[in-house]
Amino acid sequence: MQYWNDQTTEKSWDILQQIKGKFKFILIGGWAVYLWTKTAKSKDIDIIIDFNTLSKLKQEYQVNKNTNLKKYEIKIDNIDIDIYLKFFSELTIPAQDIQTTEIEGFETPKIEELIILKQGAELDRRKSEKGEKDRIDIFSLLFNCSIDFKRYLKILKQSNLTNYFTNLTSLIRSSNPTTQSKYLSLTPREFKLKKQELLDRLRKIR
C-alpha cells in the first residue's frame, strides 16, 4: 500500500529519472529508502550536491535559495526537489561526511547513515503528515535491511547524537502495528514480532 497516491509518486519518479541522467547527486529521503526496501514510494525528491552541480542546475531550472533552512529548492510539475549543498546545508550528518553506496545506478547513503538522516527528519516534523511518512520509512529500513547497529552507534557517537539511539528505541516501542503495518506489507502480528526482535537486538548493543 502506497502512502501517497500513485499518480503523484509516478510523476516524482519520472522527474527523478530525468535529473539522474543529467546531474551528479546523492539521493536521500524517501526515494533512497524506496531503493533500499522497495516498499512505500515517495512524493518529494531530496538530493545532496556540490557547488559545481548547483551551477549546472541553475542553467536549466529556476533554483530558489531557502536561506532559513540552508537549502535550495526546485519545483517541477508540483513536485518539490529539496537540494542540500555540501559544506553549506545543515543535515543531521554533515553532507560532505556521508558515506555512500550505489543502488540501481543511484548514489545513496549507506544504510546506517540513511536511518540517522531519517531520524533527524522525523524529529523535525514529528507532528506532521510527513513525520508519519518518516516513521514508516524508518521501520521499512529496520525491517527490510541488514543494519550494522554497532556502526550506527559509532556514527552517532562521532556526531554527538547518542540521544538518537534512545530515540530509535522509543520510536520502536511506541509504534502502532495496526496502523503502520499496512504500508510495509506486513500483518499487525508480523509487525509486532519484528518490533520485538529489533528491541532485543538493540538491548544487546549498548
Q: What is the pTM of this model?
A: 0.92
Which residues, in sequence order, are CB contacts of 147 under 8 Å at separation 6+? 111, 112, 115, 141
- 78 is a domain residue: yes
Taking only the tens place, the pLDDT of each residue in 148-203 is: 999 999 999 999 999 999 999 999 999 888 878 878 888 999 989 999 999 999 98
Residue closest to 40 by CA, chosen among 150, 180, 196: 180
Domain range spanning residue 142? Answer: 6-205
Indicate the number of domains in the chain. Answer: 1
**31 belongs to a structural domain:** yes
- Reported as a single tens digit per residue, the pLDDT across 69-119 is 999 999 998 899 999 999 999 999 999 999 999 999 999 999 999 999 999
Q: Is residue 64 domain-resident? A: yes
| Residue 198 maps to a domain | yes
The residue assigned the cell 534512545 is 166
